[in-house]
Amino acid sequence: MKFRFALAALATTAMGLAIAQTPAPTPAPAAPAAAAVEIPPPPKPTATAWVLVDYITGQVLAGENYNERVEPASITKVMTSYVLAAEQKNGKIKPDDQVMMSERAWREGGAGTDGSYSGFAVNKTAPLLDMEKGMAVQSGNDAAIALAEHAAGSQEAFASLMNNYAAQIGMKGSHFVNAHGLSAPEHYSTAYDLALLGRSFIRDYPEQYAFNKIKEFTVGTITQPNRNLLLWRDASVDGIKTGHHSGAGYCLMSSAKRGDQRLVAVVMGSTSEKQRADDSLALLNWGFRFYETHRLYEPGKAIATQRVWKGQAKEVQLGVAQPMLVSVPRGRYDALKPTMDVPKTLVAPITAGQAIGTVKVTLDGKVVAESPLVAITPIEEAGFFKRLWDAFWMWWESE
């Protein structure tokens, strides 16, 4: 009888522990709800291909022909800037490097060509940082070639780097053969790939990305304005890059940030400098009007707890390491559904910041935001007898 009673007590206790081990329900994100808004069709650009992408989620909000192959023109230089930023981060090149303006760079991309140029003196050097700005602001073909030669020895070798980094970003429809974007066989991209590039550049290298909002830059006695007209029209626009040649038409990759929300628009093959700016701003305004970004969880704040075995504390608080944001159609906030995926068994010690699981937020069954769950505070290992006792209960539950 006593044996059966003991078994019943043990079973009851084990059941309680099993329930305690189940994660606490993830709280619904806290933010004021907005009335649902019927979303009208987006403004249609006068362009051969275009796309509007949400920066936070990468979701395509609107677009047409955005997976079709196009000539990227000088938007190519965003890929060049990305590679240069990555190579600086890896210690291969430095901002104060002296970069030679070679005869090839001057001849193929300098003042004697039909393309845009920065005006750095031939067979003389300039700081890498200055040439980066000359390429970003003035769209200098000469600067792009000189920088490619400095970073990789030749423009052809640099193009291989461009393709390697493009593959890492996920640009499956792109291939580069030069650093400046003038028309060449097998030099192509897609509007969607370029939006991916824009998102990656903003996220990975914000310092170099900021060069693209500089309104003018001077090399020697030559001062040239940034060709992105949106920098003068809308204070929320902070980039990214224009492009144009006869084969590509007028192109613009733009981005704007209003509050926590950022959008990236790509318009390819437009009919004029003004038209590409008008269409891009119309797309950005439409996106900001009919989509909204919410800050769901803040770092350092507990959003759930989880049972811990063999620790000095019985539970660990879980949260996110970075702010978790999500963009949804305006008025659909209340339809968001958060869920949590954590291991069934956690054993101390646990360090602060240690990844424990994942929190996901879905809308209409589709994941729109995902972030690692981390331990907010450390859990030290318990003493010998506590560890032994927990080992017994872990064994009991496993039976």
Mean pLDDT for the stretch of residues 266-282: 98
Annotated active-site residue 139? The verdict is yes
Whether the per-residue pLDDT at 26 is higher than 70: the answer is no
What is the reported pLDDT for 151? 98
What is the reported pLDDT for 32? 52
Alpha-carbon distance of 39 to 20, in angstroms, equals: 44
Q: Which 3 state secondary structure label does DSSP give 118?
A: coil
Does domain 49-270 fall into CATH 1.10.10.60?
Answer: no
Q: Which fold has domain 13-34+296-398?
A: Peptidoglycan synthesis regulatory factor (PBP3), Domain 2 (2.60.410)
Question: Side by side, which strands form the sheet with 249-258?
Answer: 60-64, 49-54, 261-270, 249-258, 237-245
Where in the chain are the domains? 13-34+296-398, 49-270
189's CB contacts (< 8 A; 6+ apart) are 69, 70, 71, 72, 75, 76, 171, 173, 174, 175, 176
Mean pLDDT for the stretch of residues 6-16: 32
| Run of H or E including 393 | helix 384-398
Helical segments of 205-293, H only? 206-209, 230-233, 273-290
Alpha-carbon distance of 187 to 178, in angstroms, equals: 7
What is the reported pLDDT for 21? 36
State the pLDDT confidence band at 391, using cuts at 50, 70 and 90.
Answer: confident
Radius of gyration from C-alpha coordinates of the chain: 27
Helical segments of 184-228, H only? 191-204, 206-209
Annotated active-site residue 270? The verdict is no
Whether the per-residue pLDDT at 2 is higher than 70: the answer is no
Alpha-carbon distance of 174 to 193, in angstroms, equals: 7
Exactly one of 81, 139, 270, 280 is catalytic; which is it?
Answer: 139
Q: Are 29 and 294 in contact (CB under 8 A)?
A: yes
Of 31 and 329, the one with more pLDDT? 329
State the pLDDT confidence band at 193, using cuts at 50, 70 and 90.
Answer: very high
Whether the per-residue pLDDT at 192 is higher than 80: the answer is yes
Tens digits of residue pLDDT in 351-365: 999 999 999 999 999
Exactly one of 77, 133, 241, 310 is catalytic; which is it?
Answer: 77
- The rounded mean pLDDT for the chain is 89
Most confident of 20-29, 45-54, 102-111: 45-54
Q: Residue 383, class by beta-carbon neighbours within 10 Å (0-12 exposed, 13-18 middle, 19+ buried)?
A: exposed
Question: Tokens representing 353?
Answer: 């910041």
State the pLDDT confidence band at 13, using cuts at 50, 70 and 90.
Answer: very low
Annotated active-site residue 44? The verdict is no
